[in-house]
Amino acid sequence: MAENCQVKFTDFKSDQSVKWCPGCGDHAILNSVQKAMASLGYKKEEVAVISGIGCSSRFPYYMETFGFHTIHGRGSAIASGVKVANPHLKVWQITGDGDALAIGGNHFIHTIRRNIDLNVILFNNQIYGLTKGQYSPTSKRGFISKTSPFGTVEAPFRPGELCIGARGQFFARCIDKDLKHSVVMLEEAAKHEGTSIVEVLQNCVIYNDKTHNAITDKAHSADRTIKLEHGKPMIFGAESNKGLMLDGLELKVVTIGENGITEDDILVHDAHCDDITLHLKLADMEYPEYPVALGVIRSVKAPVYDQCVAKQLAEVQEQSQIKSFNDLIHSGDVWDVE
Amino acid sequence: MGKRSKVIERDEVVVRFSGDSGDGMQLTGTLFSYTSAIFGNDISTFPDYPSEIRAPQGTISGVSGFQVHFGHTEVYTPGDYCDVLVAMNPAALKANAKWMKPGGTVILDVDSCDEKNLRKAGYETDDPITESKLSGYNIVKAPITTLTKESLKDMGLDNKSILRSKNMYALGLVYWLFDRPLDHTKDYIKKKFKKNQLIVDANVKVLEDGYNYGNIIQALTPSYHIHPADIKKGKYRNLSGNQAVAWGFLAAAEKSGLELFLGSYPITPATEILQELSARKDLGVKVFQAEDEIAGICTAIGASFAGDLAITTTSGPGLALKGEAIGLAVIAELPLVIVNVQRGGPSTGLPTKTEQSDLMQALYGRNGESPAVIIAASSPTNCFDYAFYAAKIAVEHMTPVILLTDGFLANGTQPWRLPNLEEWPAISVPKADVNAKDWHPYKRDLEKLSRYWATPGTAGLEHRIGGLEKDEHTGAVSHDALNHQRMVEIREEKVQRVANVVPELELLGDEDADVLVVGWGGTFGHLFTAVDELANEGHKLALAHFNYIKPLPRNTYEVLKRYKKIVVCELNLGQFADYLTMNFPDIQTQRFNKVQGQPFTVVELKEHFKTLLED
């Protein structure tokens, strides 16, 4: 009976027609989110989806939950206010590489630093889509776009590095079209208490088509990505014979069976390790030197801002003699005029 | 205490404590004003300090002052000119000499008047009194530093701690001058330093010795006698404008049953509101010290969306940064109060000084047609009232409200009669009804034109709002041309309809006045005092002072059109005068403007009004 009361993933679809370009990776992410929310057993009314500005930020309109499509870059700040005001809500923030890492960079890092219990989905397509094709903070150096006709001369941000550098405790990465893995990543993010960042490598079919293809293409993805799982050896490849080892302070790609290397020599992923050293290295791996890491790279327990706020409020209220406005104004230096 | 040789009877007196910014003048002034208030005087105070925490010692830029105006009658301003100046060094004397009333009393620490300090203060001779043209004044040359050292020589304190007590010596002497009891200050010292008995003993001894020094010099120095004022019965406490704002929101939260959320970033001179509410976790206040001004308002907007009474506080430059987010609150039609404690601008301007130059920014400093309610407080204690009403209007009309105060109100204090919240009006929260027929997020209360508050967590009210224009009937995103025009007009009309609940403009003074003085916000005390004093001198003047700027009170035009000669007085270049002209093109106004980072003086206002009366 209880099973029948469960919200189906289609219940999370709003009556608005979805207006992203045909073939855009956003469609897949919307599906993944709705599936994850259904499988998490969410009730529609306890969910607030908050976004800033950009293609991805239209997301709340397509969700049959509470939603707030706000202003450019400020989604994290607004979502933080929602969560602190009502910690019972499941607050999801939808953002993109421009919204979170350019105009909203300050809010992004401070939200992560505070470790507010938000689930942030960062759609990374390495381009400004809604303004029709300018380079973004994650566009690779030399990238040609309408505002970089001769190639960019900027180093891009690596979202995982930025997140962990800002003392992030949860970082995961997945690919838009890999629904099955994306749903698992979103569920993991939801279960983690504190700020969870899920970077989705998303394809912009119009302005930056196939930007992630070198690693997401079916023919090559097994060899060019590694799906990390906590407690499992870091093995990848179409034949599952490649792995990661430490060589001094550097990660090294090795082949099992060559040079006497066995599975026992391969690093085992520890997502819960407090030390960030290896997590940073894994998050920073780029093709072709390395496989690109997918999965939960870091997931560490730490004090959660909104929980700490609620706890401190309860403690002070318990201890203080001042229980009302009237108590307050009569405390301290008061005199009588007769 | 023996009989005093010379006593001056006065209705009211202005005392200014002045010294280096590290001399403890703010505390000295605060303690003196408390004692006067408890004695039963009406008081008004104002601190005047540099923006540097410790500006170069001994220089004029490092002078920190605290002025107290107290009287047997009601006082509305901290006073223009002082009767008594306490100057702890030559720079303090130099900076304040021009603010002395003729024949006033100057208490000068002569120990500080060495060659080095005189030159630092810019004196060319070794006689600062003559050089400052104070020769005919009542000068008390007290060797305060030496006397403090003498007083504490056997207590085993280090030299630094001894010198830090100088201010208590000066305070004791001023208490003698006004024949005030030392009890309150002694209690304060005991409480403040309860962990260090030696410091308590030292400060109490210095205070008493300062007082007794008055007895020694009484043959040379007249003392002042000010009777208690005839003040309404009740319990009182001293309240600054910033504290009053914070408490007004606490009262509104309790009255509305909503939880209070403040998102803010420290900025002079608004920071005390953030600090005050941060300390009120016992009343359940959620304070979010954000990473910047933008996050301050955005967290508040998020909290408002989630159903809290949401506030953000700032000063001019911060309001500029919040502009885009205020627009979001306008189009999302969420309740929000934005407090702007105005300071001298543009840019960083004069952070610790007062000005009224953010009026146009509050009215129009946003993209698009972006109407918000604008309210201005006009005294330190009525900051409480207007914070309460700003919250009430924001919630009941589902609109952002900008509350304007200023550095003068924020830091000024007045005695505040403790209110009984039961006598204050209710705040009704327009919660969306899940059972209402054809509910949608932009369904409106037809009288107020406000929408309903549908907060996350309520099953059946799931909806999406945002910064994009919405369809009038469904709340869905709409780019329809005519729909946009209607929505723009509805949002403006919604704000205008707030006039239905705003009190009418009150005319103070003579109905048949020859000159109508118009002001708004923090200048009330000075304008009222000037008009009142001229009326007592037989002139026909009236004052119309505005607290509600947008919308204007319903009877504004009716009041203004009765007068041929109107002067709009403001601490800017005429922003409210322009606003009145825009609203009522046939009303002719003259302007009296001051942009010096300082309040008006009653003297300059009276002089100006007299010239208008003579024209």
Is there a single domain that holds both residue A250 and residue A139? no
CB atoms within 10 A of CB B40: 20
Contacts of B113 (CB under 8 A, 6+ apart): B89, B90, B126, B128
Looking at residue B451, the DSSP 8-state letter turns out to be B
B468: left (phi over 0), alpha (psi -120 to 50) or beta: beta
Distance from CA of B384 to the nearest CA of A (A): 12
Q: Are B41 and B71 in contact (CB under 8 A)?
A: yes
pLDDT band at A5 (very low <50, low <70, confident <90, very high): low
A77: left (phi over 0), alpha (psi -120 to 50) or beta: alpha
Is there a single domain that holds both residue A143 and residue A262? no
pLDDT digits (tens, 9 = 90+) for A49-89: 999 999 999 999 999 999 999 999 999 999 999 999 999 99
Is there a single domain that holds both residue A117 and residue A263? no
User: Between the CA of residue B159 and those of A292, B54, B154, B295, what are the distances in Å?
Assistant: 67, 20, 12, 47
CATH code for the part of the protein at B237-423:
3.40.50.970
User: Pairing relation of β-strands B464-466 and A66-69?
Assistant: parallel
**Among candidate residues A208, A243, A268, the one where a domain is terminated:** A268
Query: Does residue A139 fall inside a structural domain?
Result: yes
Q: Which of B112, B75, B108 is nearest to B93 (CA)?
A: B108
Is there a single domain that holds both residue A249 and residue A167? no
Q: Chain-centre distance of CA A63, in angstroms? A: 18
Secondary structure (3-state) at A200: strand
Burial class (CB in 10 A: 0-12, 13-18, 19+), B485: exposed
Average pLDDT for A180-189:
98
pLDDT digits (tens, 9 = 90+) for A92-110: 999 999 999 999 999 999 9
Judge whether residue A303 has pLDDT over 80: yes
Judge whether residue A197 has pLDDT over 70: yes
The residue range of the domain holding A15 is 2-232+269-306
Judge whether residue B220 has pLDDT over 90: no
Burial class (CB in 10 A: 0-12, 13-18, 19+), B595: middle
Place of tokens 């009653």: B602
Distance from CA of A26 to the nearest CA of B (A): 19
The backbone torsions φ and ψ at residue A65, rounded to the nearest 5 degrees and listed phi first, read -135, -170
pLDDT digits (tens, 9 = 90+) for B410-426: 999 999 999 999 999 99
Taking an 8 Å cut-off on Cβ atoms, the answer to whether B282 and A320 are in contact is yes
What pLDDT sits at residue B3?
60
Which of A34, A42, A44, A82 would best serve as a mutation to test chain B binding (most B beta carbons within 10 A)? A82
Interior/surface letters B489-510, b for 16+ CB within 10 angstroms, e for the rest = ebbeebbebbbeebeebebbbb
Residue in B254, B291, B300 closest to A110 by CB: B291
Distance from CA of A330 to the nearest CA of B (A): 8
Length of chain A: 338
As a whole number of angstroms, the distance between CA B166 and CA B144 comes to: 7
Pairs across A and B, CB distance < 8 A: 195
Which of B247, B286, B288, B464 would best serve as a mutation to test chain A binding (most A beta carbons within 10 A)? B464
pLDDT band at A1 (very low <50, low <70, confident <90, very high): very low
| Residue A88: closest C-alpha in chain B | B457
As a whole number of angstroms, the distance between CA B385 and CA B403 comes to: 11
Is there a single domain that holds both residue A260 and residue A289? no
Show residues of chain B in contact with A306, CB under 8 Å.
Answer: none
Distance from CA of B497 to the nearest CA of A (A): 27
Is there a single domain that holds both residue A166 and residue A261? no
Is there a single domain that holds both residue A248 and residue A181? no
Q: Would you kindly state where each structural domain of chain B is located, as residue ranges?
A: 7-225, 237-423, 507-614
Average pLDDT for B285-292:
98
Distance from CA of A64 to the nearest CA of B (A): 7
Higher pLDDT, A118 or B74: A118
pLDDT band at B217 (very low <50, low <70, confident <90, very high): confident
Show residues of chain A in contact with B421, CB under 8 Å.
Answer: 325-326
Q: Sheet harboring B400-406: ordered strands across? A: B286-289, B260-264, B309-314, B336-342, B400-406, B373-376, B548-550
The pLDDT mean for chain B works out to 95
**Among candidate residues A268, A293, A321, the one where a domain is terminated:** A268
Measured CA angle at B396 (ends B407, B295), to 5 deg? 50
Q: Are B339 and B270 in contact (CB under 8 A)?
A: yes
As a whole number of angstroms, the distance between CA B308 and CA B257 comes to: 10
Judge whether residue B50 has pLDDT over 80: no
Residue in B232, B236, B292 closest to A335 by CB: B236
What pLDDT sits at residue A2?
43
pLDDT band at B190 (very low <50, low <70, confident <90, very high): very high
Interior/surface letters A218-246, b for 16+ CB within 10 angstroms, e for the rest = eeebbebbbbbeeeebbbbbeeeebbbee
Show residues of chain A in contact with B321, CB under 8 Å.
Answer: none
Query: Does residue A311 fall inside a structural domain?
Result: no
The backbone torsions φ and ψ at residue B473, rounded to the nearest 5 degrees and listed phi first, read -100, -25
Q: Which of B339, B363, B144 is nearest to B244 (CA)?
A: B339
Contacts of A25 (CB under 8 A, 6+ apart): A123, A125, A176, A177, A200, A202, A203, A204, A205
Sign of CA dihedral B559, B564, B565, B569: positive
Which tokens belong to A94? 């939808």
Q: Which of B569, B611, B575 is nearest to B594 (CA)?
A: B569
pLDDT digits (tens, 9 = 90+) for B110-165: 999 999 999 999 999 999 999 999 998 999 999 999 999 999 999 989 999 999 99
Query: Does residue A328 fall inside a structural domain?
Result: no
Taking an 8 Å cut-off on Cβ atoms, the answer to whether B301 and A335 are in contact is no
What type of residue sits at position A241? N
Residue in B290, B464, B476 closest to A77 by CB: B290
In this chain, the answer to whether the domains covering B7-225 and B237-423 adopt an identical fold is: no
What pLDDT sits at residue B615?
80
As a whole number of angstroms, the distance between CA B197 and CA B148 comes to: 18
pLDDT digits (tens, 9 = 90+) for A22-59: 999 999 999 999 999 999 999 999 999 999 999 999 99
Which tokens belong to B536? 């007592």
Judge whether residue B1 has pLDDT over 70: no
User: Pairing relation of β-strands B548-550 and B373-376?
Assistant: antiparallel
Q: Which of B528, B243, B281, B504 is nearest to B387 (CA)?
A: B243
Is there a single domain that holds both residue A74 and residue A177? yes
Which tokens belong to B74? 């009601």
Which of A34, A51, A56, A86 would best serve as a mutation to test chain B binding (most B beta carbons within 10 A)? A86
As a whole number of angstroms, the distance between CA B341 and CA B349 comes to: 14
What pLDDT sits at residue B9?
85
User: Between the CA of residue B223 and those of B29, B108, B134, B174, B448, what are the distances in Å?
Assistant: 18, 16, 19, 9, 59
Number of domains in chain A: 2
Residue in A46, A48, A107 closest to B291 by CB: A107
Query: Does residue A319 fall inside a structural domain?
Result: no
Which of B27, B298, B311 would best serve as a mutation to test chain A binding (most A beta carbons within 10 A)? B298
Taking an 8 Å cut-off on Cβ atoms, the answer to whether B456 and A107 are in contact is no
What pLDDT sits at residue B397?
98
Higher pLDDT, A323 or B216: A323
Q: Are B306 and A89 in contact (CB under 8 A)?
A: yes
Is there a single domain that holds both residue A149 and residue A199? yes
Is there a single domain that holds both residue A149 and residue A238? no
Instruction: Please state at what angle helix B166-177 crosses helix B183-192, rounded to 10 degrees.
Output: 160
Sign of CA dihedral A26, A28, A29, A30: positive
Which tokens belong to B308? 């809290």
Lowest mean pLDDT among A269-273, A311-315, B43-47, B83-87: B43-47
Show residues of chain A in contact with B461, CB under 8 Å.
Answer: 45, 66
Judge whether residue B263 has pLDDT over 50: yes
Judge whether residue A3 has pLDDT over 50: no
Taking an 8 Å cut-off on Cβ atoms, the answer to whether A45 and B281 are in contact is no
Residue in A66, A88, A322 closest to B283 by CB: A322
As a whole number of angstroms, the distance between CA B212 and CA B358 comes to: 49
pLDDT band at B610 (very low <50, low <70, confident <90, very high): very high
Taking an 8 Å cut-off on Cβ atoms, the answer to whether A328 and B250 are in contact is yes
Taking an 8 Å cut-off on Cβ atoms, the answer to whether B303 and A81 are in contact is yes
Secondary structure (3-state) at B490: helix
Taking an 8 Å cut-off on Cβ atoms, the answer to whether A69 and B467 are in contact is yes
Q: Which of A190, A202, A197 is nearest to A37 (CA)?
A: A190
Query: Does residue A338 fall inside a structural domain?
Result: no
Does B335 sit behind a cis peptide bond, omega within 30 degrees of 0 on the bond before it? no
Query: Does residue A163 fall inside a structural domain?
Result: yes
The upper half-sphere exposure of residue B561, i.e. CA atoms within 13 Å in the direction of its Cβ, equals 8
Taking an 8 Å cut-off on Cβ atoms, the answer to whether A71 and B476 are in contact is no
Is there a single domain that holds both residue A153 and residue A300? yes
As a whole number of angstroms, the distance between CA B298 and CA B294 comes to: 6
Judge whether residue B10 has pLDDT over 90: no
Does A22 sit behind a cis peptide bond, omega within 30 degrees of 0 on the bond before it? no
pLDDT band at B223 (very low <50, low <70, confident <90, very high): confident
pLDDT digits (tens, 9 = 90+) for A220-245: 999 999 999 999 999 999 999 999 99
Q: Are B246 and A328 in contact (CB under 8 A)?
A: no
Is there a single domain that holds both residue A178 and residue A247? no
Question: Any idea which fold B7-225 has?
Answer: Pyruvate-ferredoxin Oxidoreductase; domain 3 (3.40.920)
Residue in B291, B299, B324 closest to A81 by CB: B299
pLDDT digits (tens, 9 = 90+) for B296-339: 999 999 999 999 999 999 999 999 999 999 999 999 999 999 99
**In angstroms, how far apart are the furthest CA atoms of chain A?**
97
Which of B255, B289, B291, B297 would best serve as a mutation to test chain A binding (most A beta carbons within 10 A)? B291
pLDDT digits (tens, 9 = 90+) for B557-597: 999 999 999 999 999 999 999 999 999 999 999 999 999 99
Q: Which of B340, B336, B333 is nearest to B365 (CA)?
A: B340
- What is the reported pTM? 0.95
Judge whether residue B237 has pLDDT over 70: yes
Q: Are B519 and B77 in contact (CB under 8 A)?
A: no
Average pLDDT for A143-153:
97
Burial class (CB in 10 A: 0-12, 13-18, 19+), B197: exposed
Q: Are A333 and B418 in contact (CB under 8 A)?
A: no
CB atoms within 10 A of CB B562: 14
User: Pairing relation of β-strands B507-509 and B515-520?
Assistant: unpaired
Higher pLDDT, B522 or B52: B522
Q: Are B308 and B260 in contact (CB under 8 A)?
A: yes
Query: Does residue A321 fall inside a structural domain?
Result: no
Judge whether residue B6 has pLDDT over 90: no
Residue in B236, B259, B299 closest to A337 by CB: B236
Looking at residue A101, the DSSP 8-state letter turns out to be I
pLDDT band at B219 (very low <50, low <70, confident <90, very high): low
Place of tokens 């037989």: B538
Taking an 8 Å cut-off on Cβ atoms, the answer to whether B462 and A65 are in contact is yes
Pick one of 3.40.50.920, 3.40.50.150, 3.30.70.20, 3.40.50.300 as the CATH number of B507-614: 3.40.50.920
User: Pairing relation of β-strands B309-314 and B260-264?
Assistant: parallel
| Residue B235: closest C-alpha in chain A | A336
